[in-house]
Amino acid sequence: MNKLQGKHVLITGASQGLGRQLAIDFAREGAAGLAIVARDVRALNEVRDRIHEIAPQARILVIGADLAKEADVERVIALTLSTFGGQLDVLVNNASALGPVPMPYLLDFPLEDFRNVLDVNLIAPFLLIKKALPAMIECGGSIINVTSDAGIIGYPGWGAYGISKFGLEGLSQTWAAELEGTGVRVNWVDPGSMNTAMHRAAEPDADPSQWADPADVTGVFIYLASDASREVNGQRFQAQEEDWGRSVGRPA
8 A C-beta contact, residue 223 and residue 245: yes
Taking residue 232's Cβ as centre, other Cβ atoms within 10 Å add up to: 19
Half-sphere exposure in the Cβ direction for 160 (13 Å, CA): 26
- Residue 170 carries which side chain, given as an amino acid letter? G
Distance, CA of 165 to CA of 192 (rounded, Å): 13
To the query of whether residue 161 is one of the catalytic residues in this protein, the response is yes
Provide the edge-to-edge strand list for the sheet that holds 90-93.
Answer: 59-64, 33-38, 8-12, 90-93, 141-146, 184-190, 236-238
234 φ, ψ to 5°?
A: 75, 30
Catalytic residue among 105, 155, 161, 223: 161
Alpha helices in the chain (DSSP H): 17-28, 41-54, 70-83, 111-118, 124-139, 159-179, 197-202, 219-225
8 A C-beta contact, residue 185 and residue 179: yes
Q: Which residues have a catalytic role annotated?
A: 161
